[in-house]
Amino acid sequence: MKAKVTIREVAKAAGVAIGTASRALNRTGRVSEQAIAAVTKAARDLGYTPDSVAQSMRTRSTGVVGLLVSDLANPLYARIITAVESRLLTAGYALLVASTHNDEQREKTLVELFRRRRVDGLILGPCQAETPAYLDQLAADGPVIALDRDFQGGNAGVHVDHYHGALQATRYLLNLGHTRIALLTPGSVLRPGRERIVGYGDAFAERGLQPDPKLIRAEKSAMDFAFSEALSLLGSPAAPTAFLCLGTRILSGVLQALRHSGRLAPDDVSVVSIGDTDLSQLFSPAITSLTWDLEAVGTAVAELLLRRLDSTAPLEQERILLTTQMVLRESCGPVAKTATDAVVARKKTRTAP
């Protein structure tokens, strides 16, 4: 039987003292990021497996961080999670990921499971507008970082500026002559959806206009919901001439509804995606998108958590706000004033060299 690798061998391979190697693996005391990376690599290369039970008893640390999001099928979350995991791994932490499916009871159950696992910290995007008591308790156990959410239990968070993003996207469509702009975004009570709705409304207000409240659909995120809602809107007497929608399954549903109703973008209807996904880039025509640096979100979240895990004293409240940018593609055009305009535009598109 192969002898078990010792901490002494890990320290030698990493070129550090045994004490430094122990602190790096246990995340205790002051250790440079360079030393942590070297020790982590040496331990991985040698196949070092510390006694996690004894280690936890000594340090009260499990070396595990929990991350809870609403929907793992959301491609925007996938890139954030990858960045979080990559940064935490270099610091010697494993990442435990779960999805709430936007279900409050499921969220509560998962939070309790994380507590039983004694995770060292939690990155959380709760599905509730108000902070429930169990999240306050979790924050008392260890650092909690808000992922694009506002809640009292988190003393740190990373947010995307959805307000100015929606403001910019709506202004863009208004400049093209669109005034009937449908907004499809899930979770009107949660921070992202709430801020998008406000930014959307303020863009209209700047011009002395008021959006039709019936064009705002902010209840669910499923593709079948988006398809039925978009189809209903397109079939109404005052149909929207543009859609501003979350670029996940909602965008899929909207594009399916356009096809089902015989409409084309950008000739008949303009489309802007909130979030730049593979679908936005690969669809024909490519979809104009509101984007933000997903990797930067994940890295910033991990850095916030690591600072709090490394600190022996309470840190000041810290919130990081990341900006959005518009990526102009081929899915938007001036509003067609008549059905004849749309037909002419469609013919030009089809006969263009």
In terms of CATH architecture, what is 162-292+326-351?
3-Layer(aba) Sandwich (3.40)
| pLDDT at res. 197 | 96
Structure tokens at 57: 């008893």
Query: What distance, in Å, lies between the first and last C-alpha atoms of the chain?
Result: 71
Asked if the domains at 7-58 and 62-160+295-322 fall in one CATH topology, the answer is no
Segments of the chain with pLDDT less than 50: 1, 53-54, 56-59, 338-340, 343-344, 347, 349-353
| pLDDT at res. 221 | 61
Q: Which of 149, 158, 183, 187 is nearest to 169 (CA)?
A: 183
Which distant-in-sequence residues (6+ apart) come within 8 Å of 296 by Cβ?
Answer: 83, 322
State the Cα–Cα distance between residues 182 and 258, nearest whole angstrom. 13
State the Cα–Cα distance between residues 229 and 62, nearest whole angstrom. 46
CATH topology of domain 62-160+295-322: Rossmann fold (3.40.50)
Q: Supply the CATH classification number for the domain 7-58.
A: 1.10.260
| pLDDT at res. 349 | 47
pLDDT tens track for 189-224: 788 999 999 999 999 999 999 999 999 998 766 656
How many Cβ atoms sit within 10 Å of the Cβ of residue 51?
10
Neighbouring-strand partners of residue 94? 64
Q: Domain ranges for the chain, please list them.
A: 7-58, 62-160+295-322, 162-292+326-351
pLDDT tens track for 302-339: 999 998 887 766 667 788 999 999 999 999 999 975 44
